[in-house]
Amino acid sequence: MAEIGIFRLLKRLVVWTLIIGGCWLYFTNSQIQAASTAMIWNFRQRIVNLIGNGDDTSTQSLNLSDSSQKNEQTSQQKTDSTTIPTNGRWATNTATIYVNTGNKTLDSAAQSAIQQWNQTGAFTFRPVNSSQQAEIVVSAMDNDSTNAAGLTKTSSNSINNHFVHANVYLNQRYLLDPEYGYDQQRIVNTAEHELGHAIGLDHTKQVSVMQPAGSFYTIQPGDIQAVKKLYATN
Ligand SMILES: [Zn+2]
């Protein structure tokens, strides 16, 4: 019995030493302090994002994930663009794509997103070797004047409403800054979300890669159905 008593005392001593040691480290090591402050901040940021999820009014200011601009008029496009905000899509469920973000992490996230969509069989992105050959161009932006972690602009033919070109931007300002807590999976989810817009999908509040805060889900069965439905007719 005495042995157990000593053992418990020793155990308590060890625990207290660890706690005191932990506090001491916290107050004396500014790097650890900064890291834990950043962790707390990230956690708050995540909660804000989650709260912002299903709420249209708050997503504008709180959603760091994405925004999309449809049917944007571009000067180089000789084809007609429409400003009517109706759903667009490509003529068929396939489009050529070129990825060049200038960053390894973003490039590989975009490549994974392409693979994931291609595996669904609902839409096929065909990689090409230059932006001139591509219907969809994926690049990076470094922009803190927007809350968006990604942005997709599409140009459409006004007669048949088919897309003629799309630009997908991944915002490195948020995606690559550890303060915002984007791990590789969330960056891939963001790229899948933007490619979803480039296919012609809109936001939904369902469990979907197309939730307005577009980084929490990968492609869901409902998303595949939505693409199949969008391209069911010619
Ligand atoms: Zn979006």
pLDDT tens string 43-85 = 433 333 333 222 222 222 233 445 454 433 332 222 233 333 4
**Residue 200 CB partners (closer than 8 Å, separation 6+):** 87, 88, 89, 90, 154, 163, 227, 230
CATH of the domain at 136: 3.40.390.10
CA of 171 to the centre of ligand 1 (A): 13
Residue 129 lies in a domain: yes
CA of 98 to the centre of ligand 1 (A): 20
CA of 67 to the centre of ligand 1 (A): 5
Structure tokens at 85: 């905000």
CA distance to 19, 24, 196, per residue, from 151 (Å): 46, 45, 11
Structure tokens at 101: 């973000």
Residue 82 lies in a domain: yes
CA of 4 to the centre of ligand 1 (A): 61
CA of 79 to the centre of ligand 1 (A): 25
Residue whose structure tokens are 């033919």: 157
Residue 6 lies in a domain: no
Residue 43 lies in a domain: no
SS3 track for 206-223: CCCCCCCCCCCCCCCHHH
Phi, psi of 92 (to 5 degrees): -130, 175
What is the pTM for the complete model shown? 0.66
The total domain count for the chain is 1
Query: What is the structure's pLDDT at 44?
Result: 37
Q: Which residues line ion ligand 1, judged by CB < 5 Å? A: 66, 68
Residue 179 lies in a domain: yes
112-154 residue pLDDT tens: 999 999 999 999 999 999 999 999 999 999 999 988 999 999 9
For residue 188, what are the domain limits?
A: 54-230
Are 144 and 173 in contact by the 8 Å Cβ rule? The answer is yes
Closest CA to 187 of 121, 136, 113: 113
CA of 210 to the centre of ligand 1 (A): 6
**Residue 211 CB partners (closer than 8 Å, separation 6+):** 53, 203, 204, 205, 217
